[in-house]
Amino acid sequence: MSDFVLPAPAQPSVAVQGQSARFAVRRIFCVGRNYAEHAREMGHDPEAEPPFFFTKPADALVDSASRIPYPFGTADFHHEAELVVALGAGGSFVATEAAEALIWGYACGNDLTRRDMQAVAKAARRPWDMSKGFDRSAVVGPLRPASFGVPKGRIRCLVEGRVTQEADLSEMIWPVAAVISYLSRLVELHPGDLIFTGTPAGVGPILRGQRCEVQIDGLEPAVIEVI
């Protein structure tokens, strides 16, 4: 075993439904604008673009039922409800029809965003890193193993019990298998990679003291309270 001049960082991981063992996470990829109505609300034509990706650091992960501080550097802190897929196998140039075989499990996720900071970055044509990849910005609920089936049905977000986002998973512009296949042509995928698959329309603010819950039919919710 190699020696390090500083202690090695803790391994980022997410919970697994019904198990004490956790899923070790390598990287986090996120798909932008993968629901037509969300693309339109952000001022884009959903028919005109292939999928694009940004990343979050693995140590930005937050378990469900966490209380997190309102992030500094923003006055417009937003939720984005998403289906998350966890890869148990990897590869490059994966065919769409082979992509689902790479999936280890599925979870509810919340791609937390400093929206005002993102708007400034977009206007200046600068990277989104600080608006998307900040501390505690990747909320992931317990993973349900893929052996239980592919999630189908509704995805929704509730803030203080009020539904702010709701759509059907079938409304994705790029289905999960197509997202995995496309991403595998840009980077070599590996076991432990997570992919946030995009958010429906209705993204909006979370204030201090509020509870935000992401629900997907058949999966355990991803819940946070902002303090």
Q: What is the pLDDT of residues 53-67, one digit of tens each?
A: 999 999 999 999 999
User: What is the CB neighbour count within 10 angstroms for residue 45?
Assistant: 10
Segment 179-219, tens digit of pLDDT: 999 999 999 999 999 999 999 999 999 999 999 999 999 99
CA 43 to chain centre: 21
* CATH numbers and ranges of domains, the chain: 13-226 (3.90.850.10)
**Token digits of residue 191:** 């076991």
Which pTM does this prediction carry? 0.94
Segment 16-42, tens digit of pLDDT: 999 999 999 999 999 988 887 655 655
pLDDT at 197: 97
Segment 128-154, tens digit of pLDDT: 999 999 999 999 999 999 999 999 999
Segment 75-107, tens digit of pLDDT: 999 999 999 999 999 999 999 999 999 999 999
Q: Are 104 and 146 in contact (CB under 8 A)?
A: yes
pLDDT over 90 (residue 49): no
> Which residue type occupies 85?
V
